[in-house]
Amino acid sequence: MEVSSWDHCVEAALAKLESMKLLRSLRPIHLPSGEEQAPNAIEQKNVPILDALEVFDGLRPWDRASVEVEIAESTFQRWVRDVPSSGDDADSGNQEVDNGAGACSHQKFRKLLLFSGNDYLSLSSHPTVSKAASKAALAHGMGPRGSALICGYTNYHRLLESCLADLKQKEDCLLCPTGFSANMAVMTTLGNVGSLLAAGGKPLKNERIAIFSDALNHASIIDGIRLAERQGSAEVFVYTHCDMSHLNALLSSCTMKKKVVVTDSLFSMDGDLAPMCELAKLRKEHGFLLVIDDAHGTFVCGKNGGGVAEEFNCEVDVDICIGTLSKAAGCHGGFIACSKRWKQLIQSRGRSFIFSTSTPVPIAAAAHAAVIVAKKETWRRQAIWNRVRDFHALTGIPVTSPIISLVVGSEEKALQASWYLLKSGFHVTAIRPPTVPPNSCRSVA
């Protein structure tokens, strides 16, 4: 099956939905954003508001806010003793504490350096991002008012989608409440293609979608694939992590025509990159649809922050790129960059998108500002990769990305490593099952 044949599948699926009167539409509600916003800003490529956003040429004091944190002494002591907590000690820092002698004293705090976060560019504390959120909140309030297909989709959302589509070199983009829901929406939509095009309603084996998934893909991909499989419209093949020989063998032996390969681009628990160039070659040979989850690569990799595909110059070989705004963008939400037809199909069949409340307007405004800042402040990306090289030079540990994963083995060893780091003033969480398999626990910074 040629890659272009997938276009015909999508067209046929959309035609089926249209005949059933089940196509869904996004119609942005216009919310005026003041003098900075041009009346037809959504259609313009160079919007005045983009030039009005303030950017900087180096680190500023607020950049420390994303790595310097405080925790209450009582929380620290619970952590050191590995006492389970449901978070109820979070407010103890604002309370007076009985010192045991009948007198009360104010809770003490302890400063830590945060090495467990995903705010790679420190944009969560960037004043331009904060100002965009506060301005939108003051003008329009916080509530999104409903799901995107009902009344929660505005010109703020559309502007962000257009900006992300440009970043990913795709025709269009669909915003989702989270990166998890974005992956779920794509996977369940893929399953729906098999159901919609089945001659008898229920797909026969050769009418199903064959989904090939990397063994270490994110939980949201796995859960989405399982749901598509349970619908009876997809069959799943798991290939050994980043093993292109195994993937090629599976693809070659599969008789199903409609094939999809899905992979993380930068694996969050191992810090390694997917072999994008090899995937692009296999795509040309086998004609599969290539879907990547670029959650940890977006804004971090590539000259313009376009992600891992841009880093390896194979953006045209990626059919659907899923990402998040909660990591390097320092905000919240997920997105799916794809063709206009795929967007229409996903917004019509992706249940986690359809039945979720839309992203709040201030968050969309902040994320839009973050995209612009990330594009313009290129020195932030360079600083990250300089630190990666510095770490390698100092430790000799071969690292290939800003995610540094040190496997220590058992749960006990991982907790002990986290404890030692905590005592030294570093916030590094022990990663244990079910996030990773037993006896492969690790510290990830």
Find the domain containing 212 and state its range. Answer: 5-32+126-376
Q: How far apart are the first and last CA of the chain?
A: 42
Question: CA 308, CA 294: separation in Å to the nearest integer?
Answer: 7
3-state secondary structure of 41: coil
**Residue 88 forms part of a structural domain:** no
159-200 pLDDT, tens digit per residue, is 999 999 999 999 999 999 999 999 999 999 999 998 999 887
Environment class of residue 319 by beta-carbon count within 10 Å: exposed (0-12), middle (13-18) or buried (19+)? buried
Structure confidence at residue 388 (pLDDT): 95
Q: Are residues 243 and 341 in the same domain?
A: yes
Q: Which two tokens stand for residue 317?
A: 């070989």
Whether residue 202 is contained in a domain is answered as: yes
Query: Is 394 among the domain residues?
Result: yes
Domain co-membership, 339 together with 409: no
Q: How far apart are CA 85 and CA 57, in angstroms?
A: 41
In a domain, 90, yes or no: no
Domain boundary among 355, 376, 397: 376
Q: What pTM does this model have?
A: 0.89
98 pLDDT higher than 80: no
Tokens representing residue 18 in the block = 């249209």
Q: Which residue among 348, 376, 404 closes a domain?
A: 376
CA distance 92 to 90: 6
**CA triple 255-218-243, angle to 5 deg:** 50
The per-residue pLDDT for range 216-254, each reduced to its tens digit, is 999 999 999 999 999 889 999 999 999 999 999 999 999
How many separate domains does the chain show?
2
At residue 406, the pLDDT reads 86
Q: What was the pLDDT predicted at 3? A: 61
User: In angstroms, rounded to a whole number, what is the distance separating the alpha carbons of residues 298 and 367?
Assistant: 13
Q: Among residues of the chain, what percentage have pLDDT more than 70?
A: 91
Question: What CATH number has the domain bearing residue 243?
Answer: 3.40.640.10
C-alpha distances (whole Å) from 33 to each of 37, 143, 158, 159 are 6, 16, 13, 12
pLDDT confidence of residue 2 = 64
- Write out pLDDT tens, residues 321-348: 999 999 999 999 999 999 999 999 999 9
Give the pLDDT score at 275: 98
Question: What is the rounded (10 degree) CA torsion for 40, 41, 47, 52?
Answer: 110
Q: Residue 138 corresponds to which tokens in the numbers above?
A: 């003051």
Instruction: Give residue 130's identity as a one-letter amino acid code.
Output: S
What pLDDT score was predicted for residue 45? Answer: 41
Task: Return the pLDDT at 82.
Answer: 77
Contact indicator for 345, 194 with CB cutoff of 8 Å: no
Q: What number of CA atoms fall less than 13 Å from residue 67's CA on the CB side?
A: 13
| Sheet hosting strand 405-409, strand order edge to edge | 405-409, 441-444, 430-431
Q: Give residue 350's region: left, alpha or beta (phi > 0; psi -120 to 50).
A: beta
Identify the pLDDT of residue 13.
Answer: 94
The angle formed by the CA atoms of residues 173, 123 and 26, to the nearest 5 degrees, is 20
- With tokens 């916030």, the residue in question is 427
CB atoms within 10 A of CB 169: 16
pLDDT of residue 359: 96
How far, in Å, are 136, 192, 282, 366 from residue 30 at the CA level?
13, 32, 44, 17
- Encoding tokens for residue 97? 């504490």
d(C-alpha 299, C-alpha 319), whole Å? 19
Q: Give the DSSP letter of residue 23.
A: -
In a domain, 61, yes or no: no
| Structural domain includes residue 59 | no
> Is the pLDDT score of 385 beyond 90?
yes
pLDDT at 105: 56
For residues 244 and 212, state if they share a domain.
Answer: yes
